[in-house]
């Protein structure tokens, strides 16, 4: 246990220095330069992408993650923000602090993201800077949608769910459709439709997608 020496403790305070460039009073840093002068001397966003072209499928509302992966994402969603950030090259040269969308017209085919980054600069001083990246959206159908467009009847797997009731009081199919949408269970389906109130049909271009959809239906039906 520490003993009381009877001596006064003098609180330590951070001293101030003059900026070596403009002479303003500031807290000391490794560069002895204020933030404004540091930014005028060093642009940590130099060499980072400011304009990017991204490919969007207008049919299934997915975005191409090169080389061949298509990602489902809504406008201004967390998924789309993550996709946009991952498309940036050389971002590993700085430390990403924050990223957010800047509002644009929904039909402008432009997505803007504001990023705030940090980097160690002169003599180890940490500089933080914000910049904006503009993404130009180019519409192009994905492979699955292209095949469907060329031949609407071309599919490999079809899943059909029938409701064996004589009356229309039950809302099972409608509720099931909501669950499918909620869990994105039909993301890989090229077509899903309800025939009157008695059947639900899903068509896929890949058998494994059809099997996965059947497994989802089995889990829902067991609850």
Residue whose C-alpha is closest to residue 185's, from 204, 170, 172, 199: 204
So what's the pLDDT on residue 1? Answer: 47
Say how far apart CA 119 and CA 87 lie, in whole Å. Answer: 20
Whether the predicted model's global pTM rises above the 0.75 cut = no
Angle between helices 207-222 and 172-182 (to 10 degrees): 120
Count Cβ atoms below 10 Å from residue 89 Cβ, excluding itself. Answer: 10
Residues 140-161 as b/e (b if ≥16 CB within 10 A, e otherwise) read ebbebbeebeeeeeebebebeb
Per-position DSSP letters for 44-88, written without gaps between them: TTTTS-SEEEEEEETTTTEEEETTTEEEE--TT-HHHHHHHHHT-
Which parts of the chain have pLDDT scores under 50?
A: 1-2, 169
φ and ψ at residue 172, rounded to 5 degrees: -55, -50
So what's the pLDDT on residue 48? Answer: 95
So what's the pLDDT on residue 5? Answer: 55
For residue range 158-173, list pLDDT tens digits in order: 677 776 665 554 566 6
- CA distances (Å), origin 212, targets 144, 194, 215, 223: 17, 19, 5, 18
Residue whose C-alpha is closest to residue 112's, from 65, 43, 52, 48: 52
């Amino acid at each position: 246990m520490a003993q009381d020496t009877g001596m006064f403790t003098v609180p330590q305070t951070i001293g101030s220095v003059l900026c070596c460039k403009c002479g303003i009073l500031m807290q000391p840093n490794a560069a002895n330069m204020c933030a404004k002068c540091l930014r005028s001397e060093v642009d940590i966003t130099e060499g980072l992408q400011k304009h990017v072209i991204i490919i969007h499928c207008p049919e299934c509302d997915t975005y191409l993650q090169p080389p061949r992966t298509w990602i489902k994402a809504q406008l201004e969603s967390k998924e789309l923000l993550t996709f946009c950030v991952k498309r940036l090259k050389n971002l590993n040269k700085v430390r990403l602090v924050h990223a957010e969308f800047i509002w644009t017209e929904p039909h402008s085919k432009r997505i803007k993201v504001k990023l705030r980054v940090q980097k160690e600069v002169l003599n180890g001083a940490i500089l933080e800077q914000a910049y904006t990246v503009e993404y130009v959206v180019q519409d192009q159908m994905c492979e699955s949608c292209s095949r469907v467009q060329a031949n609407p009847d071309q599919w490999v797997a079809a899943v059909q769910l029938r409701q064996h009731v004589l009356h229309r009081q039950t809302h099972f199919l409608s509720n099931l459709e909501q669950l499918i949408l909620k869990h994105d269970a039909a993301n890989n389906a090229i077509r899903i439709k309800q025939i009157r109130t008695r059947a639900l049909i899903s068509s896929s271009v890949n058998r494994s997608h059809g099997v996965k959809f059947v497994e989802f239906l089995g889990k829902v039906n067991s609850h």
